[in-house]
Structure 1
Amino acid sequence: MFKAPTLFTFFAGAGFLDLGFETSGYNVAFVNEYHKPFMDTYRHARKGMKDVFNLHEPEFGYHVQDVSDFIQEPENTILSHRIEECRKRGELIGFIGGPPCPDFSVGGKNRGFEGDNGKLTATYVELICQQQPDFFIFENVKGLWRTQKHRSFFDQMIQKLKENGYMTTAKLINAIEFGAPQVRERIILFGIRGKSASELGIELQKGQTLDDIFPWEKHIKYKAEDIAKMPFPTMDPFAEKSLLPMPEGLPEELTVEYWFRKNDVKNHPNTQQYFKPRAGLAKFEVIPEGDDSKKSYKRLHRWRYSPTAAYGNNEVHLHPYEARRISVAEALAIQSLPKEYTLPDDITLSNAFKTVGNGVPYLAAKGIAQTVLDFIWVGERVYEVNSR
């Protein structure tokens, strides 16, 4: 039986991506995040879930520092020594991470690779080329894939990885296809070192590329085109504390209300954490349930999935049937996280919503993790799929 892959995680945020991988059988050994409030949240949430998911502390600890530190004199860094230690034990090593993405986002700064955050993408690729993990995952916004000026930079990064021995495949995924109650598109780039692929028995036939054999579709639960044909409601008049039956013919697990109930958001530790205006806003009471047509003040519909859970850039999401903004507990549910995942009581509201909004939806992370395992083990299942 193969050993579970060992992960070194970067730009870890509050650990949504890491959790999806770890509950799929990977061993998270090294965690890096630059923003201390994110790392504090990561560690707090982990303590609350460790017994439920049998989580262990990362063998090589938590590292609150700039990822650029790890590409300075690489042969002498703590990172290099830890990787070598794993290699001596015969472990398969993976890097996973999603560099900050505002510089590639249409709704963000759009500065591309020249922006401070954009440069971190090149740094992550450089780190991969230096340290040569067996495989890696890179996650970012769709703007890096679809915007012409950013796509050129993305293609340059892929070429660099190829020149350093990696085969790659990329796909624009949507979190809702993996069962998360949220439309959230992200580009996922997977790469595997050619030498490692050969050792695992993964061989390309003549004329094939990694795109031809990587099982991107295997863990997708709902096709986007099928979801578009489902009779999800559009808008209903707002009525506080109202009851509204679910329309027939819908997958309940893709609705906001299902996740609010599943995570028992009314009794969740973060249920009282939401922005409260000093003076009540009249629009909280007049925007119809399900009206998410504007950039801000989008009211969710209880029997529909949520728009992308991005709470920056003045974007405000309103509760379906209460005259207020959604709470941290509700935002966590929309990210399809387990109800045991909680944020610290002393985190600021700004950091709380930034933490939640920046993360990869848990079910999407889990689906990607399982897809990679299926590919690496060539169909031999050495992990137990968590049913949550």
Structure 2
Amino acid sequence: MATKTLSMHGSAGIGKSWAAPTATFISKRPARPGYSEVDASEYSDSEDVLRAKVVCMADLIRASSNFIVYSGAGISTSSGISDYASKTSAKVPLAKTGFSAQASFAHYTLVELYKMGMLKRWIQQNHDGLPQKAGLPQKAINEIHGAWFDPTNPVVKFSGELKGDLYEDLLAWEERADLCLAVGTSMSGMSADRVFTTVSEKAAENQDGILGGIIVNKQKTQYDNLATLRIFADINTVFEMLCEELEIAKPTPSQYSRCTFENQPDAQNDRFTLTRYDRKGRRVEEGTEGDCVLDLSVGSKVVLLSGAKEGTRGEVTGTNREGHYKIRFMVKLKKTGSLRPIERTLGWWWIEAAVNGDVDLLPIVNVGGRRKNSK
């Protein structure tokens, strides 16, 4: 009975008379074939049980000193981003392009928790940039599986390697976290799942100050019995209730738009004076003035400063509808050694981070002349 309670409610449900979640969609197909045998069926807590669980969730967040979020595709489905693991026919219309998708209520609520000092780090499996569109600064997120808006961090395939600095950051927060909220992720055995499993195992061992893990997902996961709290419900509904329990104003999602800079008079010409960085894109010491000017006007030449393609050169070709920069890089094909063009996007929030001096190393800097790419 205790094992069943753990899988349905988490350890917080032991001794409580919470009803079992009911099935809302039945499937015998695995959610992620080859990674986990958990099927794609979906479940829902009753309204009274859900309310009780959200009260518990709010209490855990208040008690936490190092609360982190580990998000998967499920947090973005209401924004029109497809979810590989979900097999239900109850789909929302997909965004015409993932680059134009807008942040959901859940994204905005988590950003509000960050601004309030409650949320310390966001580990993001998705590539969609929706946390940043909701207002999360780039310095607060680890896009561990790749990012559409970071040319140094292309999407990582299942068999690929994680970016070194991001993996080190993941390990640091694995050790630091006292509470991890896994939201919208099937947690089918990816390396990054450790940020949830480690803190949950510490809680099971009653380590001092460790609160464990919360899972919010309609589908079962292989780690349900590790959770301190297990919630089966619509993600946005959970966060609406959480706002009420934490007594914070419910955020209003809006269309993403670029910010403006009072101290960047040449920004309309796509040129930015970055006094916190040197010409190699490295952040200078506090009190020192850097000499980096980043020119992102059409035709400007740039070079990648990190990642597997470090040193690859590209050319700015324009901006998309939201104002993010499009850059064409020439990359070498492994089989033939020939060059082919690929387009990558630099999210506007990287410009915000650069102006504010938020990151240690910029993703790109300019290179002189209009030389052909060296890679």
Q: Same fold (TM over 0.5)?
A: no
Normalising by the residue count of structure 1, what TM-score does the alignment of the two structures yield? 0.28
More helix by share: 1
Greater C-alpha radius of gyration: 2
Structure number with greater CO (CA < 8 Å, separation at least 6) is 1
Q: Counting strand residues as a fraction of each chain, which structure ranks higher?
A: 2
